[in-house]
Structure 1
Amino acid sequence: MLARAGSENFPVAARVLPSGPRTHLMALYGYFRLVDYAGDEAPGNREILLDHLEADLRHAYRGTPRLPLLRALAITVHECGIPQDVLVRLIDANRRDQHVRRYRTFTELVDYCALSANPVGESVLHVFGCARPELVALSDRICTALQILEHCQDVLEDHRQGRAYLPEADLRHYGCRLDELETGRAPEHWRALLRFQVTRARRLLDSGALLVGRLPLFARLAVAGYVAGGRATARALAAARFDPVSGDVTPARARTAAEGARLLLSGGSW
């Protein structure tokens, strides 16, 4: 799956960037959306579709892709030096989604995020020539946190699709059953669980936010948008008393913009 932050912030970031990075980011965005569609929405046998997509990704790295979106991507991976295994991990995440419906522990969930979310941030760093190991490590924290926040937002939708990303160990600890989400509002023990998840994700997000102050200008603008979106989402969930079931918890754009301005002024520190 593609994190909500990626799907919203790629087009937004593209408006304020020079044509080179903008073109590369939009090529990546097209690929991410294609992988997301193949693994989560497409009719028919999605595993076969993902296999075909990986085969054409290999063609893209040889300069001979068949799909139009991967023709654009072929230029980006060549000019930006994005390793093939980074983009394959997103396909692997969607393969996992075809079989794995539960995650027993937080460690298992983080392992999934290493496939489903972290490659997005690493790819962005490659676009700006900033994919040094210490910066990728900070980016991974941001992307994992964003993915967990999205799982908190979408807990009811995921349940209705037969999935539960929140760790089973935490569900048991707080005495939460998935069928309780169908009551129209989150019970108090569910709110306690989600408060715990959001707090943990927020700490992870803040620990990676120092990345913003270590990037050149245009990369800083792009990454600040992701972090700001995560912080605004955490605030929106808190404002809803950690109940994403009874109403929409999407943050207002003004809140995201305010968080972004604070990040740019502070260099990522809190």
Structure 2
Amino acid sequence: MAVDHYENFPVASLLLPRRLRGAVRDIYRYARAADDIADEGNATDAERLARLAAFRAELHRIGAEPGSVPAAAPELAPIFAPLAGTIARHQLPITPFFDLLSAFEQDVTVKRYDDYASLLDYCSRSANPVGRLMLHLYGAAAPDNLAQADAICTGLQLANFWQDVRVDWRKQRIYLPGEDLRRHGVSEEDLAACRLTPAWRALMAFQVERTRALLHSGAPLAHRLPGRVGLELRMVVQGGLRILERIERAGYDVFMNRPELGVRDWAAMAWRTLRTFTHL
């Protein structure tokens, strides 16, 4: 599951083949740095977008001159010099990196999602590129695999959103689709007041079940990926499912009790991972 605050990213996991760990670190370093620009600190929106534009310029340079070391500004060289090498060495597509950047730019400018379709579109750029890059690293980027990886990554992203409703509210963000809030009779004032009402529980139960279905739909991918790679993916999926279980067990109170994975959760995830996926 998560490493530090960039959740659901299997950074240099011991389950990953050693030959891929450096590449994963390089991708993670890029994603985390861009995510921090969008989310952390006290910069203005204009300043954040300008810094992300510098990332975009470096990506264009890498795309135009594959394998070259970008002539980046000194502060960007530690990110883009190794990333350029990883992209060239593993013949990674450049589009997922642009997609991630687009999502981080959207984090700066968009604070609400009126419908589920627009939220899925955001996830297609904020989460799915990670899974797609991993499949390219594994040499397993077949269309069926990519589709199921998308389902897993979107499911993990949504699980993180439902886990972090209160955290995101403090950043003036709401990822719960507006259409679902209206349908269940939950207002932004209810979120601000942390009202744990029957309407709130019904709303969250709906989100949890829909997210669980996404994770289930992508889970067969772990059967097809061999060895430690498949094991890694099983553990990642189990982490997302476990977060959803914790939300349910808390009675959907994510206001006062942010669901987090403890030692017992990790033990349960490991046990489930070692069993067949027919139990998912």
Structure 2 length-normalised TM = 0.88
Q: Which runs of 5+ in 2 are unaligned?
A: none
Give the 3 Å change call, closer, same or farther, for CA 199–261 of structure 1 in structure 2.
Answer: same
Aligned residue among 202, 209, 213 for 2:219: 209
Aligned residue among 49, 52, 55 for 1:50: 52
8 Å CA contact retained: 1:212, 1:263: no
Q: Which runs of 5+ in 1 are unaligned?
A: none
1:128 aligns with 2:127: no
8 Å CA contact retained: 2:17, 2:229: no
Give the 3 Å change call, closer, same or farther, for CA 5–255 of structure 1 in structure 2.
Answer: farther
Aligned residue among 111, 114, 136 for 1:101: 111
Deviation >4 Å, runs of 4+: 2-6
Deviation for aligned residue 1:160: 2.0
8 Å CA contact retained: 1:212, 1:264: no
Aligned residue among 235, 245, 258 for 1:235: 245
The aligned runs of 1:127-166 (5 Å cut-off) are: 127-166=137-176
Equivalence for 2:23: 24
Aligned residue among 207, 228, 239 for 1:197: 207
8 Å CA contact retained: 1:31, 1:69: yes
Give the 3 Å change call, closer, same or farther, for CA 216–196 of structure 1 in structure 2.
Answer: same
8 Å CA contact retained: 1:209, 1:268: no
Identity %: 34
Judge which range, 19-28 or 59-68, deviates more. 59-68
Judge which range, 254-263 or 25-34, deviates more. 254-263
Deviation for aligned residue 1:81: 2.0
What does the per-residue CA deviation read over 1:233-264, in whole Å, with 9 as the maximum and x for residues that have no partner?
Answer: 01110110111002121122432442344244
1:116 aligns with 2:155: no
8 Å CA contact retained: 1:227, 1:260: no
Deviation for aligned residue 1:57: 2.1
Equivalence for 2:10: 10
Equivalence for 2:261: 251
8 Å CA contact retained: 2:15, 2:229: no
CA distance in 2, matches of 1:125, 1:184: 40
CA distance in 1, matches of 2:105, 2:96: 15
Which of the two has greater helix per residue?
Answer: 1
CA distance in 2, matches of 1:22, 1:254: 27
Give the 3 Å change call, closer, same or farther, for CA 4–243 of structure 1 in structure 2.
Answer: farther
Deviation for aligned residue 1:3: 9.8
8 Å CA contact retained: 1:6, 1:120: no
8 Å CA contact retained: 1:263, 1:269: no
CA distance in 1, matches of 2:218, 2:149: 6
Q: Number of residue pairs matched?
A: 268
CA distance in 1, matches of 2:230, 2:276: 12
Deviation for aligned residue 1:140: 0.3
Deviation for aligned residue 1:172: 0.4
8 Å CA contact retained: 1:3, 1:147: no
Deviation for aligned residue 1:49: 0.7
